[in-house]
Structure 1
Amino acid sequence: MSDFNGDFWSVYVAGLTLVSIVACLLLLWITARKKVAADADNTTGHVWDGDLREMNNPMPRWWVWLFVGTIIFSLLYLVAYPGLGSYQGTLGWSTAGNYQKEMERARQQLEPLYAQFTARKPEELAGDVHAMGIGERLFMNNCAQCHGSDARGSKGFPNLADKDWLWGGSPDKIAETLHQGRTGAMPPMGAAVGGADDVKNVAHYVLSLSKAPHDSLRAQLGKSRFTACAACHGMDGKGNTALGAPNLTDDVWLHGWGEQAIINIINNGRTNHMPAQQKLLTPEQIHVLSAYVWGLSNKPECVREAMSPGPFAPRDRP
């Protein structure tokens, strides 16, 4: 259990803050009361570097009142704003609330821009240079971190510029993915397949499905064991977009290609997660972004001209 679930740290922070303020007041009071016996020349008797003497003058009153003013300000601030542990302050201000207000203000300002696209189909938008320019910026800000600036992905992150789709590549399915996010999970299947030799045979059978180099004898032996995998990938190995199960008969390898890579996935399983974007993007923005992503693999003329080879290599292929 997290240490921050209880009230201890909230009370600790609030107490430490108040003790610090009281200590400042106490320091000021002690300093004001302390009297240093002065010599006849009004110095304290301290000498540095042979001839530098400290005068016994009191602190300027403006400095003292400025110090008192900062303490009063800090107390008023702690009443109005959060600063005493879990206390929210009388004004109810928070960084999260301030962020939401700024985002809402930005959305209201952008509404007229996206209003011109909402009634148009994604397939139509994919041929609109202006809409795709906006879609590209949305992609760079929200998607390129995982899928790459050229949308060709990398190991573990799908290539969006081909026609290989785990959950379906229609504009509606892409919009659904953006709205809700996706979690693709393959459980460890080693025990269901059999022993280590059986797992290796199934790996070669999977390689044979995509016409990749493989041991034909092991592939033949692994075919019967593949039934443990067919529930998701199908008996023909062509996958199932309803489950996000990849097609094993093409040459696209999301998590690496080769005997050992497939054996590792069978034995250990694999989970991929794409977070939902509906809290970050408005429905209108997702509409334009889904049109842009759809256009990457269907390539209307304006998207084809905009795309250029990027620094990211395609996913592993044989």
Structure 2
Amino acid sequence: MSDFINNFWSVYVAGITLAGIVGCLVLLVITARKKVVSDEENTTGHVWDEDLRELNNPMPRWWVWMFVITIIFGLLYLTAYPGLGTYAGKLQWSQVGAYEAEVEKAKAELEPLYARFTAMSTEDVSKDNQAMAIGERLFMNNCAQCHGSDARGSKGFPNLADSDWLHGGAPENIKQTITQGRIGMMPPQAEAVGSPDDVRNLAHYVLSLSGSPHDSLKASLGKSKFTACAACHGMDGKGNTMLGAPNLTDDIWLHGWGEQAIVDMINNGKMNEMPAQDKKLTPAQIDVLTAYVWGLSHKPAAAN
């Protein structure tokens, strides 16, 4: 009911609910007081299949009392719990409150489990089998929906198992990303670059930075247009982790590879968001998840 824009709908819902209960009570009283008028056989006169007759008996008393008890229960329930528009109920119960209470209870129960990890460094936690088992479950429940169960991401979602990091791959950078989230924005640059041909020439120059297949003539023409991009990506195209600007020289493409993908990016820009997890996870859980994610790109080399 919190999304109602005025009090009318709250009163309307409460009125309909109470009117329904009162209507049931009135109907029950009228039915209970009505005297049964029957013929000699005490039937309603309705006959089915030639010999099936409906008896005209009054409603059993126990049945009447069941209806009365149900109505009383409904009124008591609506007094104690929310159900009448925006009225919160005497017990002040809510789904949000119940959820938060369960979360707090779970946090208290799990706190001893995480206690020994809080004093350890990220590197040491990443080598602890129990911590990594917990980190994997945290990742599956909170991160795999976007980054994939293998953490290798997909188009628009970064691969966490390589060494390419938009905002830096140090433990503190990863922890900050998980805790506070990230908002990445590439503004449209077509007007700053020039004509559609200039945009395509720039796309070929960007491809040339990573050694990707490109037209060298168009790339040479587009080099001067790269000044529109250098403010974020740097004149050498190696990006800026402070801004989350990708390295354009490493042949890793978050939003698609090729001339058309780059042209679309220049023309339309792009906005991505990594949601903050500090409302879902405790600081101890974030520490373990940080170690798990950091460990994905820092696995020890296999022995020969």
Once residues 174 and 262 of structure 1 are traced to their aligned partners in structure 2, the CA distance between those partners, rounded to angstroms, is: 27
Structure 1 match to 2:226: 226
Q: Which residue of 1 aligns with 2:120?
A: 120
Separation (CA, whole Å) in 2 of partners of 1:200 and 1:129? 50
Superposed displacement of residue 255, structure 1: 0.3
| Whole-angstrom CA distance in 1 between matches of 2:258 and 2:170 | 30
C-alpha contact 1:36 1:44 (8 A) present in aligned 2:
no
Aligned-partner Cα distance in 1 for 2:7–2:202: 54
Q: Deviations over 1:3-57 (max 9, x none)?
A: 7322232222212211211221122123223344210121121111111111121
Letter of the structure 1 residue corresponding to residue 198 of structure 2:
D
Q: Which amino acid aligns with 2:171?
A: P
TM-score with structure 2 setting the length: 0.96
1:53 is the counterpart of 2:53: yes
For residue 110 of structure 1, what is the amino acid of its counterpart?
Answer: L
Normalising by the residue count of structure 1, what TM-score does the alignment of the two structures yield? 0.92
Look up the match of 1:22: 22
Distance apart, 1:110 and its partner CA: 0.5
Shift of residue 193 of structure 1? 1.0
Larger RCO: 1 or 2 (CA < 8 Å, sep 6+): 1
Give the 3-state SS of the residue equivalent to 1:53 in structure 2.
strand
Matches within 5 A, 1:152-301: 152-300=152-300
Query: Match of 1:315?
Result: none
| Counterpart residue identity of residue 123, structure 1 | E
Range 37-46 or range 212-221, more displaced: 37-46
Amino acid at match of 1:283: P
Partner of 2:64: 64
Shift in Å, 1:225? 0.8
SS in 2 for 1:46: strand
* Kept in 2: contact 1:238–1:247 (CA 8 A): yes
Contact 2:233/2:239 (<8 A) preserved: yes
Whole-Å separation in 2 of the counterparts to 1:294 and 1:59: 72
Alignment of 1:88-127 (within 5 A): 88-127=88-127
Deviations 1:202-257 (A, max 9, x none): 11111000100001111111111111111111111111111111111111100000
**Equivalent in the alignment of 1:73:** 73
Distance 1:7 1:249 in 2: 58
| Greater Cα shift, 133-142 or 292-301 | 292-301
Aligned length: 302
Deviation readout 1:96-125 (Å, 9 max, x if unpaired): 100111111111110010001000000111
Secondary structure, counterpart of 1:263 in structure 2: helix
Q: Distance in 1 between matches of 2:196 and 2:30?
A: 78
Q: Is the 8 A contact 2:239 2:247 kept in 1?
A: yes
Letter in 2 for 1:282: T
Q: Name the structure 2 match of 1:311.
A: none
SS in 2 for 1:226: helix
Q: Cα RMSD (Å) of the superposition?
A: 1.5
* Partners of 2:183 and 2:274 within 8 A in 1: yes
The runs of 5 or more residues in structure 2 that have no matched partner are none
Query: Is contact 1:136-1:292 (8 Å) kept?
Result: yes
Q: SS where residue 272 of structure 2 aligns? A: strand
Name the residue aligned to 2:33: 33
Residue deviations 1:118-173 (CA, integer Å, cap 9, x gap): 00000111111121111111111111111000000000000000000011100011
Residue type at the aligned position of 1:240: N
In structure 1, give the amino acid aligned to 2:16. Answer: L
Q: Which runs of 5+ in 1 are unaligned?
A: 306-318
For 2:190 and 2:3, locate their aligned partners in 1 and report how far apart those are by CA, in whole Å.
Answer: 38
User: Which segment is superposed worse, 31-40 or 269-278?
Assistant: 31-40
Q: Residue 47 of structure 1 aligns to a residue in which SS?
A: strand
Give the aligned residue type for 2:211.
K
**Could you report, residue by residue, the CA deviation over 1:171-218 in whole angstroms, capped at 9, with x for unpaired residues?**
011000010000001111111111111111111111000100001111
Identity %: 72
